[in-house]
Chains A and B, each alone.
Chain A
Amino acid sequence: MKTPISSMLLVALGSFIGSFGAVFLKLGSEKLRGGLRNILNFQLATGVALYLFSSAFFIFAIRNGELSVLYPLVSLGSVWTLAWSRLIFKEPLTRYKFVGLFLILVGVSFLGIGNS
């Protein structure tokens, strides 16, 4: 079975949207310092909504295509998130983060091959 380009684009787009979900969850999580009653806020609701939206992309994409190709593409979300962590939250990018992320991407690729 070949993986159509459309499925790959859907997954890449889904991972991109999902990474913004992570950004909004992080933004909203700050409000929890005031206690659990602040759990309902705009940022957290947006984060959850973006996650649900991104999973719709994955569900449509996974219908046709190989897991060995699509699995690693889902994890691309971590790469986008690394960029937003630097740009928005000014987190330092250390060698550990690059090596750790690289290993995780390799591992997910292996799992994708093992599952297909």
Chain B
Amino acid sequence: MSTLASPLRRTLTRNESIALVAFCTLLGAAAQVLMKIGAERLRTVGPQAILSNPLLVLGNWGVMCGLALYGVFTLLLIFALRDGELSVLYPVIALNYVWVTLLSLLIFHETMNPFKLCGITVIVLGVVVLGRGGGR
């Protein structure tokens, strides 16, 4: 049991906590995609049916998996925050936008344009700069 808990008890280095937040944002983006898929399904059900039977939401795998992923997202984010600087890690959450844009291309066949490409590149560059900064 103690060996199981040890990676969570160990202090993470700054780059490890940044990597953990980056992974969190991927989970967050996946959660948003699942919620969108679930929400679209609920739309075909209609608001009246949902109001008369709220359990329909509980049976919607997209929404439920999305919520569960959000739970994991929050848990891992807390572990990253424990060891890292808030001023470094909080801006890294913006990587969420990057993953959402990429996943939307793949899954919802949204189009890429120069502005999006530029945005993704500059955000990633910003995260790299945060990672290179001094401190622990």
* A residues in contact (CB < 8 Å) with B: 19, 22-23, 25-26, 28-30, 32-33, 35-36, 39, 44, 48, 71, 75, 77-78, 81-82, 84-86, 89, 91-97, 99-104, 106-115
- Give Cα A39–Cα B76 distance, bound, in whole angstroms: 11
- Give Cα A73–Cα B92 distance, bound, in whole angstroms: 16
A100 touches B116 (CB 8 A): no
A96 touches B119 (CB 8 A): no
Q: Does B79 contact A (CB under 8 A)?
A: yes
Q: How many residue pairs at the A-B interface have CB separations less than 8 Å?
A: 144
**Which residue in chain B gives the minimum CB-CB distance to A85?**
B87
Chain B 1-18: CB-based contact to A (< 8 A → 1; otherwise 0): 000010011000000000
Residue in contact with A36 in the complex, picked from B5, B88, B101, B135, CB distance below 8 Å: B5
User: Interface residues of B toward A: which range?
Assistant: 35 or more
- Give Cα A19–Cα B114 distance, bound, in whole angstroms: 31
Q: Which residues of B contact A97 (CB under 8 A)?
A: 87-88, 91, 130, 133
Within the complex, what minimum Cβ distance (angstroms) separates B122 from chain A? 3
B90 touches A100 (CB 8 A): no
